[in-house]
Amino acid sequence: MIPVCICGGCGRTIEKEFIYCPWCGVSKISAMSEDDKMEAIFNRLEKLQKDNRNEKIEKMSSTLDDLKRELDSLVLCSEMHK
């Protein structure tokens, strides 16, 4: 169950973690209390960091794949020169 709230701009239901309404683009921030603002910004930062980390891991694993391929071809090469 996704936590939702009502947009102050258009009255539609939007996911609570959205900072902007996807329907009308109204920022939820202005309708929030200070605590909610901080929480929303913090959640967003946390999500960005998580995305960033996933991206890094993906990049690392593709680098590992490349290295493995390189190693395979080296091994193949040395086998041929025996």
From 13-21, 32-40, 65-73, 74-82, give the range in contact with Zn ion by CB under 5 A: 13-21
Instruction: Please give the residues from 35 up to 64 whose contact with Zn ion meets the rule CB under 5 A.
Output: none
Task: Answer for the pair 4, 22: CB distance below 8 angstroms, yes or no.
Answer: no
User: CA dist 27 to 8, 21, 32, 48, 73, Å?
Assistant: 9, 6, 10, 19, 54
Query: What is the smallest separation between the CB atom of 24 and Zn ion, expressed in angstroms?
Result: 3
CA separation for the pair 66, 55 (Å, rounded): 17
Which of residues 4, 6, 23, 66 is near Zn ion by CB under 5 A?
Answer: 23
Which of residues 4, 13, 15, 24 is near Zn ion by CB under 5 A?
Answer: 24
Residues that bind Zn ion in the complex, under the rule CB under 5 A: 7, 9-10, 21, 23-24, 26
